[in-house]
Amino acid sequence: MQFPTLAGIEDALANVHAHMAATPMVRSELLSKALGCDLWVKNETTTPIASFKLRGALNCLVRASKHGAFKGATTSSTGNHGQGIAYAARLLGAPADIFLPAKANPVKAAMIAAFGGTLHKIGRDIDEAKDASRAFARDNNVLFVDDGDDLDLMEGAGTCGLEIADAVPKVDVVFVPVGGANFISGVATAVKGRRAQARIIGVQAKGSASLHDSFHAKRIVERPIDSIADGLTQRVPPKLAFAVMAKLADDMMLTGDEDLLAGVHAIAEQVHVLVEPAGAAALCGAWARRAELKGKTVVLILSGANLTMELLRRALSTPPLIALPEV
């Protein structure tokens, strides 16, 4: 099993930055005061697909196109990764067939179609969609991109970690949303490669705890999915992503749906950024660990912004996770 490397991520950065700019890194004055630390947010919602997932997709497909004939790609996704593959394939003039669970986020599905991807809605969850996508790749001789077990994808995702390490050299802790662990694995490789002292903490939804439970059990554990945060769900942990996460992540924690909604509200109010529930996971994790963060330099990754209006209304009707200070 080949792990991602710092050199591989540095190489991936050129493939990513050829098609998208580095995303903003901004210090939050209000959250810094609320948590008693020097708190920065890495805003991945500003990519063309409003998610960090474009990084891995770009690196994966650009590398595939350099290695020989590239006839197209297929993948499974809850939405954001599918957007990334559809967008990157369109840049390369190739088709993309994206397999989603039958009950998919309509905003993410619409964006995949807008980027030229062909939608296939099938199965109960991401793992059943993955089986269908893998079979489609075999039958049609196209590239199957496995979000979680693809090294190029992971090294592309890790470019976010390079940008963090370069922008905040004294970083002590990075909180990373975790679905299939591809993102935290790439980010941990990059950040620890540049800033060995930094701690990497993953945050997953209580209703989809497979990576969290696997991390603490030190073996792959399958768990059912029941969460509004589709970007934090994974029934069966990918082998490569789990192996890298188990080696490099410092801790994994869980957060509930109500806290995620409250986090969406707080980020909108205090950071002035719209995120989907998965994008609020890092704040939920930091708030729960705030006693440990006093005086430290902390980075929260806001991973994506593709939420439905129904969830936005629910979030805004939920009291914010962190109240504004009285003045």
pLDDT tens column, 250-259: 999 999 999 9
Distance CA 51, CA 45 (A): 5
In a domain, 108, yes or no: yes
The pLDDT assigned to 103 comes to: 87
The two tokens of residue 317 are 């009707």
Contact between 250 and 201 (Cβ < 8 Å): yes
Domain-located, residue 171: yes
Sheet arrangement for strand 96-100: 118-121, 96-100, 73-76, 143-145
- 22 and 106 assigned to the same domain: no
Tell me the percentage of the chain whose pLDDT exceeds 90.
91
Does residue 180 share a domain with residue 82? no
Phi/psi for 83 (5° steps) reads -60, -45
Pinpoint the alpha helices (H) of the chain: 6-17, 29-35, 53-66, 80-91, 106-114, 126-140, 151-157, 159-167, 182-194, 210-217, 239-248, 257-270, 281-288, 309-316
66 domain residue, yes or no: yes
| Per-residue model confidence (pLDDT) at position 67 | 83
Res. 291 pLDDT band, cuts 50 70 90: very high
Q: Are residues 65 and 194 in the same domain?
A: no
Q: Which residue range(s) make up the domain with 120?
A: 53-150
The sheet with strand 173-177 has its strands ordered as: 25-27, 38-43, 297-302, 173-177, 199-205, 251-255
Q: Supply the DSSP symbol for 304.
A: B
φ, ψ (nearest 5 deg) of residue 275: -130, 160
pLDDT at 318 over 90: yes
One domain, residues 197 and 255: yes
Among 116-125, 187-196, 207-216, 258-267, the range scoring the smallest mean pLDDT is 116-125
Q: What is the mean pLDDT of residues 132-148?
A: 93
Q: What is the mean pLDDT of the chain?
A: 96
Is residue 116 pLDDT above 80, yes or no? yes
Average pLDDT over residues 74-82: 92
Inter-residue contact 199 to 251 (CB < 8 Å): yes
| Highest mean pLDDT of the ranges 20-29, 77-86, 229-238 | 20-29
Q: Do 124 and 257 share a domain, yes or no?
A: no
Sign of CA dihedral 310, 125, 85, 182: positive
User: Is the pLDDT at 69 greater than 80, yes or no?
Assistant: no
In this structure, what token pair is assigned to residue 145? 């991109």
Please tell me the pTM assigned to this model.
0.94
Asked if residue 68 has pLDDT above 80, the reply is no
Kindly state whether residues 180 and 275 are assigned to the same domain: yes
Question: Is 90 exceeded by the pLDDT of residue 125?
Answer: no
Number of domain units in the chain: 2
pLDDT at 61: 97
The pLDDT of residue 126 is 82
Please report, for the domain that includes residue 65, its CATH number.
3.40.50.1100
